[in-house]
Amino acid sequence: MATSIASQLQVIRSYIKADAEPTKRPFTRPSIIFNPKEAADIDLDTVLSIALSGLEVLINTDERFRSYKNDLFSHKSRELDRELMGVEENNRINLSISSFLRLLSGHLQLHSALKTLEYLIRRYKVHVYNTEELILCSLPYHDTHAFVRIVQLLDLGNSKWRFLEGVKTSGAPPQRKVVVQQCIRDMGVLVAICNYALPVKKHQPSRPVVGFCTAVVIEVLGSMQIIDTDAVQKIIPFVRSGLQPAIKCGPDHKAGTLMIVGLLASKAMLSPELIKNLIVSIAVVAREDAKESADLAWLRMSLMAIINIVQ
């Protein structure tokens, strides 16, 4: 009994001692705009202030960023700790982070965007809990130093993104062909890139995301000797999303889609049903273009795509 009581008292004393000791400042902190040692000396309030200055610039560029000022970047957010939150609250934060990163994907070339991302890393640990969305948001900027800094913060483990481990060690931005080759080896990477370029509720994919996805798909298809049914099925959702009326998708998406359709028609054996659906969709797009503008360039592109399919 005496031994048991002594053990309990020792545990209590250890807790009291731990509470009495001041929390030690870490030697380094994860960061994309500071070096790790500098980041350790910068407190959370300062990081939030930096993020808010960047957010104001983004709001002036795109008003949709304003809604996040009183959400992810509110002063109340300084008190949040994701490890102590319940599942429901973490799910809400994840939805907000996902939405913000999709919007940010169109502006990541701006230093102001990196300022906001710095706070998401410090406060919400997006590099730990939102790894895939952070990669997909930044992948169109794969040839930048910012992308390298982001990848170096990630624990890629055995995920489909582990091919980026070389970036962490070399510190060199990867060429697009590295991504293309991985898409050929692992169609899961291609699916992730294509899905990220699809419209989500009220959010249209950004131009950099659509442009990157289009380039990757075209290069993947161009590199394949045989485009089988599985490969076609992986990219068809992206193709169909680009064959919406002009008011629903951007011109870059539509132009890229017509290029992909032409490539598919020349290299793949498409089913009669898919051929029919593509022809009808392209015809609808051509009709809408003719109503919207007297410029026949889009109509000409649409007709050429139909001719390629028929031939």
Could you tell me if residue 13 is inside a domain? Answer: no
Could you tell me if residue 277 is inside a domain? Answer: yes
Could you tell me if residue 219 is inside a domain? Answer: yes
Residue where a domain terminates, one of 174, 195, 211: 174
Cross-strand bridge partners of residue 268: 227
Higher per-residue confidence, 56 vs 200: 56
* Whether residue 77 is found in the same domain as residue 135: yes
* Whether residue 73 is found in the same domain as residue 94: yes
**Amino acid letter, residue 101:** L
115 by Cβ neighbours in 10 Å (0-12 / 13-18 / 19+) ranks as buried
* Whether residue 117 is found in the same domain as residue 218: no
* Whether residue 47 is found in the same domain as residue 147: yes
* Whether residue 167 is found in the same domain as residue 235: no
The pLDDT value recorded for residue 244 is 79
Domains held by the chain: number: 2
Distance CA 122, CA 39 (A): 10
Closest alpha carbon to 190 in 252, 232, 127, 250: 232
The pLDDT value recorded for residue 19 is 42
Flag whether pLDDT at 5 surpasses 60. Answer: no
- Would you call 268 helix, strand, or coil by DSSP? strand
* Whether residue 157 is found in the same domain as residue 188: no
* pLDDT, averaged across the chain: 87
Distance CA 21, CA 296 (A): 74
Q: Cα 93–209–292 angle (5° rounding)?
A: 110
Residue where a domain terminates, one of 114, 144, 174: 174
The pLDDT value recorded for residue 22 is 41
* Whether residue 170 is found in the same domain as residue 196: no
**Structural domain that includes position 72:** 25-174
Instruction: Assign 248 a pLDDT band (cuts: 50, 70, 90).
Output: low
Distance CA 52, CA 58 (A): 10
* Whether residue 204 is found in the same domain as residue 167: no
pLDDT in tens, 31-48: 999 998 999 899 999 999
Distances (CA, A) of 133 to 96, 126, 182, 267, 280: 12, 9, 18, 32, 34
Distances (CA, A) of 78 to 19, 45, 71, 155: 22, 8, 11, 25
* Whether residue 211 is found in the same domain as residue 71: no
Could you tell me if residue 15 is inside a domain? Answer: no
Instruction: Assign 7 a pLDDT band (cuts: 50, 70, 90).
Output: very low
Could you tell me if residue 2 is inside a domain? Answer: no
Could you tell me if residue 300 is inside a domain? Answer: yes
The pLDDT value recorded for residue 120 is 97
Could you tell me if residue 207 is inside a domain? Answer: yes
pLDDT in tens, 85-133: 889 999 999 999 999 999 999 999 999 999 999 999 999 999 999 999 9
Could you tell me if residue 17 is inside a domain? Answer: no
Residue where a domain terminates, one of 147, 174, 201: 174
* Whether residue 89 is found in the same domain as residue 227: no
* Whether residue 163 is found in the same domain as residue 32: yes
* Whether residue 194 is found in the same domain as residue 250: yes
